Amino acid sequence: MIGRGCSEGKARYMQDWSGFFQAELGAAAALAGLVIVAISINVSRILSDPSLPGRAAETLVSPSGVLIACSFALVPHQPAGVLLVEILR
């Protein structure tokens, strides 16, 4: 056993996905950063329309969710069940 509930085969299988999750994490972080910059540049226009602050927040939620999920997936020797609970929560 590599970790609690994680056999050596499963650990190798998850390691095969680490490159994908690292790339997704980088892309989500870059996208979240660009959204933050866009919001900060246009903050006065966003605040002038009552419907736009909520839309700006919604735009930031998606890349942040991907960022969090990929961060959880990159935790080493994590049992698959724990990862599932973290992502679905």
Q: Is 25 left (phi over 0), alpha (psi -120 to 50) or beta?
A: alpha
Q: Is 87 in contact with 70 (CB distance < 8 Å)?
A: no
The predicted model scores a pTM of 0.73
pLDDT in tens, 12-64: 666 778 899 999 999 999 999 999 999 999 999 999 999 999 999 999 998 99
